[in-house]
């Protein structure tokens, strides 16, 4: 099934019979569009208001669509990493954040602590190749997390001009991968929703808050109509993929 970010945002997280907080945001890995973290706002029932929960601990949306279920307990949430321990690319670029000596730097089990490449110093060698000159021998890991909330509002560039902006994000809830972006077309297509898979777009222009496609505005206008995201089912996907001439997923 598919889940709309705008629909599930602010839903309570339920585990062990307790309400553990509400969904505040999703952190998406820009390389594969998989959700790396669910950001849970605990409402202040313990000192860290927002904590991170791996998507593997999310067991789905309940039958009424009113809550998110998890296999975690209140004790697990109390020991979960603070949302401040992971930074999105936008966080790093906008604040110049860098870890201090007392910062707990997260790494995968069995590996060394890592720092984002943006914190290294670079210079060009005689061949014009950028090499880092930082003398610290620290294994490097780039920051690849993107906030779902921040992606809302990104502009859509069609081949012949602007065509709306990102109004919602649609995730497949089996692996919590970003499946579609829903576009607010303004007055272009009143009463209709346009959805596009990230796989059909050019690479996101993150620094310009843009998504671009090799489709004209007329091509998008003439796509199979979709009144709302509730109609995003397999039959519609098949029609849409056939229309755009993209491989069936």
What are the angstrom distances between the C-alpha of 109 and each of 29, 100, 114, 139?
Answer: 19, 21, 12, 14
CATH number of the domain that residue 60 is part of: 2.30.30.240
Q: Is the pLDDT of residue 239 over 70?
A: yes
Among the three residues 49, 65, 85, which one is the final residue of a domain in this structure?
85
Whether 194 maps to a domain, the answer reads yes
Per the CB < 8 A criterion, the answer to whether 37 and 154 are in contact is no
What percent of the chain is predicted at pLDDT more than 90? 56
Decide if 225 is inside a domain.
yes
pLDDT above 70: residue 98: no
From 85, 115, 137, give the residue that closes a domain. 85
What is the per-residue pLDDT for 71?
A: 97
Q: Would residue 138 count as lying in a domain?
A: no
Local confidence band at 64 (pLDDT 50, 70, 90 cut-offs)? confident
Q: Higher confidence at residue 96 or residue 244?
A: 244
Q: Which domain range does residue 194 map to?
A: 152-244
In tens, the pLDDT along 159-183 reads 999 988 999 999 999 999 999 999 9
Could you tell me if residue 50 is inside a domain? yes
Looking at residue 87, what is its pLDDT?
86
Domain boundary residue, one of 62, 85, 108: 85
Average pLDDT, the chain: 81
**Residues 161 and 236 reside in one and the same domain:** yes
Residue 123 has pLDDT above 60, yes or no: no
pLDDT, mean of residues 194-198: 93
For residue 33, the number of C-alpha atoms closer than 13 Å in the C-beta half-sphere is 17
Confirm whether 162 is domain-assigned: yes
Confidence of residue 111 (pLDDT cuts 50, 70, 90): very low
**pLDDT attached to residue 206:** 85
Tell me the percentage of the chain whose pLDDT exceeds 70: 78
Rounded mean pLDDT of 100-117? 34
Give the pLDDT of residue 190. Answer: 83
Rg (C-alpha) for the chain, rounded Å, is: 20
**78 and 159 co-located in one domain:** no
Say if 15 falls within a structural domain: yes
Domain of 227, CATH number, reads 3.90.50.10
Question: What is the average per-residue pLDDT within 113-138?
Answer: 41
Is residue 201 assigned to a domain? Answer: yes
Give residue 248's pLDDT. 57
pLDDT value of residue 128: 46
Same domain (yes/no): 156, 240: yes
Q: Is residue 109 part of a domain?
A: no
Q: How many structural domains comprise the chain?
A: 2
């Amino acid at each position: 099934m598919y889940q709309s970010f705008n629909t599930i945002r602010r839903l309570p997280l339920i585990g062990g019979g307790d309400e553990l907080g509400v969904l505040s945001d999703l952190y998406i890995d820009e390389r594969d569009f998989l959700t790396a973290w669910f950001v849970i706002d605990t409402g202040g029932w313990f000192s860290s208001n927002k904590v991170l929960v791996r998507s593997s601990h999310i067991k789905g949306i309940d039958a009424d669509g009113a809550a998110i279920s998890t296999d975690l307990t209140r004790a697990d949430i109390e020991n979960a990493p603070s949302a401040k321990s992971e930074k999105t690319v936008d966080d790093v670029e906008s604040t110049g954040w860098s870890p201090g000596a007392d910062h707990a730097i997260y790494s995968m089990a069995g590996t060394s602590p890592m720092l984002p490449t943006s914190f290294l110093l670079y210079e060009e060698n005689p061949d014009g190749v950028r090499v880092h000159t930082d003398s610290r021998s620290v294994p490097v890991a780039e920051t690849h997390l993107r906030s779902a909330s921040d992606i809302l509002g990104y502009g859509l560039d069609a081949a012949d001009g602007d065509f709306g902006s990102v109004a919602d994000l649609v995730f497949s809830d089996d692996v919590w991968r970003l499946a579609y972006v829903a576009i607010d077309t303004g007055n272009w297509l009143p009463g209709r929703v346009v959805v596009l898979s990230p796989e059909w777009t050019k690479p996101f222009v993150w620094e310009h808050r843009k998504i671009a496609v090799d489709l004209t505005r007329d091509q998008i206008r003439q796509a199979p109509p979709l009144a709302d995201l509730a109609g995003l089912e397999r039959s519609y996907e098949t029609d849409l993929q056939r229309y755009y001439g993209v491989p069936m997923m």
